[in-house]
Structure 1
Amino acid sequence: MISFRAFVVAAGATLALTSAHTPAAAQKSTEVEKLNAYVGCINRLSSRSRESESRYFSWAPKSGPTGKERIIYGTYTIYDTDDCKKNVEAANQLEPRDAALETAASAYVNAVTTLGPLLKEADDYYTQENYKDDKMAKGKAMHPKLVAAWNDFSVADKMLRANVDVINDKRKLEALKEIEAKEGKKTRYYVEAIMIDAKRVVRLQDTDKPDIEAITKAVSDYEASVKGFEDANAADSGKVSSMFTSNAKSVLVTAKQLMRRIRDKVPYTSGQKMMMQPGSEWMVEGSPGRLLRDYNQLVGAYNSIAKFGMR
């Protein structure tokens, strides 16, 4: 089975932080500002950085371009990194100080600001078809630099996400407990529980050696949260839109399909293998790409219900 990690990184599941419903100690505006600076870099730059690598290797061999390829696409550039660098430098000075988080953020900036100019140089070279003039000499010379930059970025991206997730997960769980204490397990409680449980399901696929027992438990917990939400929302006169409900159930269906594929060691068909590429993998039922697509749509639906005061 293709590692889910590659697709999680490539697709760049959206991260979001808000200051609402956090415990008193976590409601300082500087904490939110600090974390949002890091999340802003991830949301703006990570997906495009991974897409640039996928684009390049969609035509170039792992060993590097030869100039004899039937089709030469080049690569993608990424957005300007100046704002990311500036925001991270400022955020690293804000309270609460966190050495591991700040180090990860600085490493991310170093990696992405190194990658950006290389991609611009490569894009110019391939867009202008300069490889036709130098027999791919520069393309061959750039290849190891690009690979090293993508590898460094992948490590830095994963590390920053992990550090942000630790803090965000803690805040989400504390917020859920506060909601339960104040309101009980009603609609708003289950909305938040769904998001926490869905993220856990996705994360458990993000490994080369998935733990099927942990995945099965996580899917079961998520299913219970979806059922609890449906019952609570019905009792609340359908306060939350049907779009959120539909997206939550789509995640559940795909999570179960992928769980069964892992548990029963169901191989992909030859046709499915051809589609198992960034940008088209979501079309394969029970695939990591489909789960990630469904999860991102759930995040979008979750963000859209803020107007109902559910967050």
Structure 2
Amino acid sequence: MTMPCPTDRPDRRRALLLGLGAVILGAAPALAQDRAAPDAALQAAIVKSNAYTALLNRTLRAVDSWNRYRSWVDLRRGPTGRERYITYGLYSLYDVRSEIEKAEQAVVQEPAMPDLDDAMRRYIQSYATLAPLIARANVYYERKDYQDDGAALGRELHREMVPAAEAFLKDRAEVEQHMRAMRADLDGRELADIERREGRSARWNVRNVMIAARAVMDLMPSDERPVVDLAAFDAAIGRYSAALRDLDKLKETDPSGASVIDSQAGSWLGSLREYRQKLGRVRGDARRAGGHERMWIVNNYNMMVSMAQTRLRIGR
């Protein structure tokens, strides 16, 4: 059993999903008269994707909280009150009422995406079932109430939390699967739409780099999937490298256009290649490759997400 560090901040070590550009497009300055208008159908799909992405990012805290709990408790028998790391407890959850409201609105908005929309409905419901249990358990262990009742309430909560967490994780995995397919489609459509209206502008290049970066992150190892598909990882790194070369071409004519992410994006590629070498020596098994580089890669990807969003909101 892997024991977490009491100061672990898993929300800082997990990769954020990058929202697409509907709000960015809508907030941009008016286009010149001779430029085509944005694709309305694409914008509607991006609004839905962004609402779902925001909820997935914010509710990732529940995944981290559950992993924190399961790191010290025996899931088969529940807590006894005598566990060595019982003081680790769980993580408190974030307020996600706004994200849930927007996701529920997106579920019934066009374009209809029946499989994804239905999966999101189930996900919202399973989160609504699990979240209050985690909140109660967090308070219970934080206050060390298990010392008063011999962990009786802890075992009661455990019996409810285990099936609720299993349902939540199953529903989240299903949503993520549908979201990956949706994002792949929207990424291509969005890039084509930007190029149609602006050419391969700074905004096109920033989106292109971040789309390629997210494809790499989709293949990074996780606790659930610790062994990396090295061939797919190599291909994703190659696509990211190609996106950076396109960015380099932009700098020849627009030196300031990519300045926000240029240095960070280049350093990230170097770190990816170093980590790939380590993975190669252990046949892709991240458990044997060490965790320092992996943490740096995730943290700096999240930083690039923030930088890219800032750059894109500035407009052209």
TM-score by length of 2: 0.78
Mean CA deviation greater in 299-308 or 35-44: 35-44
Answer yes or no: is the 8 Å Cα contact 1:131–1:137 preserved in 2. yes
Q: Name the CA distance, whole Å, in 2 between partners of 1:186 and 1:251.
A: 22
Shift of 1:99: 0.9
Change in Cα spacing, 1:118 to 1:164, as seen in structure 2 (3 Å) is same
Change in Cα spacing, 1:9 to 1:211, as seen in structure 2 (3 Å) is farther
CA RMSD of aligned residues (A): 3.1
Work out the number of aligned pairs and report it: 290
Answer yes or no: is the 8 Å Cα contact 2:58–2:96 preserved in 1. no
Post-superposition Cα deviations, 1:170-193, rounded to whole Å, max 9, x if no partner, equal 222122234445555454332222
Could you tell me which residue of structure 1 aligns to residue 50 of structure 2? 36
Change in Cα spacing, 1:213 to 1:28, as seen in structure 2 (3 Å) is closer
Could you tell me which residue of structure 2 aligns to residue 104 of structure 1? 119
Shift of 1:49: 0.7
Answer yes or no: is the 8 Å Cα contact 1:26–1:171 preserved in 2. no
Answer yes or no: is the 8 Å Cα contact 1:81–1:112 preserved in 2. no
Shift of 1:57: 3.5
Could you tell me which residue of structure 2 aligns to residue 297 of structure 1? 303
Instruction: Describe the SS at the equivalent of 1:197.
Output: helix
Answer yes or no: is the 8 Å Cα contact 1:240–1:308 preserved in 2. no
Could you tell me which residue of structure 2 aligns to residue 220 of structure 1? 238
Answer yes or no: is the 8 Å Cα contact 2:12–2:299 preserved in 1. no
Q: Name the CA distance, whole Å, in 2 between partners of 1:28 and 1:70.
A: 52
Pairing 1:164-203 to 2, within 5 Å after superposition = 164-181=179-196, 183-185=198-200, 187-203=202-218
Change in Cα spacing, 1:84 to 1:191, as seen in structure 2 (3 Å) is closer
**Are residue 26 (structure 1) and residue 32 (structure 2) matched?**
no
Mean CA deviation greater in 250-259 or 200-209: 200-209
Q: Name the CA distance, whole Å, in 1 between partners of 2:191 and 2:137.
A: 47
Answer yes or no: is the 8 Å Cα contact 1:51–1:76 preserved in 2. yes
Could you tell me which residue of structure 2 aligns to residue 262 of structure 1? 279
Could you tell me which residue of structure 2 aligns to residue 51 of structure 1? 64
Shift of 1:95: 1.5
Change in Cα spacing, 1:226 to 1:61, as seen in structure 2 (3 Å) is same
Q: Name the CA distance, whole Å, in 2 between partners of 1:15 and 1:111.
A: 24
Answer yes or no: is the 8 Å Cα contact 1:15–1:43 preserved in 2. no
Mean CA deviation greater in 146-155 or 292-301: 146-155
Which of 248, 251, 256 aligns to 2:265? It is 248
Shift of 1:39: 2.4
Instruction: Describe the SS at the equivalent of 1:78.
Output: coil
Q: Name the CA distance, whole Å, in 2 between partners of 1:209 and 1:148.
A: 27
Q: Name the CA distance, whole Å, in 2 between partners of 1:308 and 1:84.
A: 24
Which of 93, 106, 122 aligns to 2:137? It is 122
Answer yes or no: is the 8 Å Cα contact 2:219–2:229 preserved in 1. yes
Q: Name the CA distance, whole Å, in 1 between partners of 2:167 and 2:15.
A: 16
Mean CA deviation greater in 197-206 or 260-269: 260-269
Shift of 1:107: 1.2
Residue ranges of structure 1 left out of the alignment (5+ in a row): 274-280
Instruction: Describe the SS at the equivalent of 1:204.
Output: coil
Residue ranges of structure 2 left out of the alignment (5+ in a row): 3-9, 27-36
Answer yes or no: is the 8 Å Cα contact 2:126–2:164 preserved in 1. yes
Q: Name the CA distance, whole Å, in 2 between partners of 1:88 and 1:228.
A: 35
Identical residues among aligned pairs (%):
27
Answer yes or no: is the 8 Å Cα contact 2:65–2:92 preserved in 1. yes
**Are residue 309 (structure 1) and residue 315 (structure 2) matched?**
yes
Could you tell me which residue of structure 1 aligns to residue 166 of structure 2? 151
Instruction: Describe the SS at the equivalent of 2:105.
Output: helix
